[in-house]
Amino acid sequence: MQCSYPAIIEFRLDGRGKSVTLYSNDYTAIDYTVLGFLPKGNLHPCEELEGIQARIRYVESSDKTVDGQVIAMELRK
């Protein structure tokens, strides 16, 4: 996972024999749902996603350097 100013996030998901590179130009605009835990205050995805299982929803991107733009994350511990 890589984050940059002001709120850009980019990461790669590996699963089911396929890798997908995803991004968001504003990770504060992603629709987050949490299951099994409560975040302490505002969620900071660049610092708090390590080790958390996630279901990611995204839309395909016309940008050929990535596969899609993240629109929602369901986070589970």
Domain boundaries, the chain: 2-76
Encode 37-66: b = buried (16+ Cβ within 10 Å), e = exposed.
eeeeeebebeeebeeeebebebeeeeeeeb
Residue 48 has a pLDDT of 83
Q: Which residues of the chain have pLDDT under 70?
A: none
Instruction: Report pLDDT for 57.
Output: 95
pLDDT tens column, 38-50: 888 888 888 888 8
pLDDT at 18: 87
Residue 73's Cβ-count burial label (10 Å; 0-12, 13-18, 19+) is: buried
Reported for 27-30, long-range contacts at CB under 8 A and 24+ positions apart, including other chains, are 27/3, 27/70, 30/70, 30/71, 30/72, 30/73
Amino acid identity, position 50: E
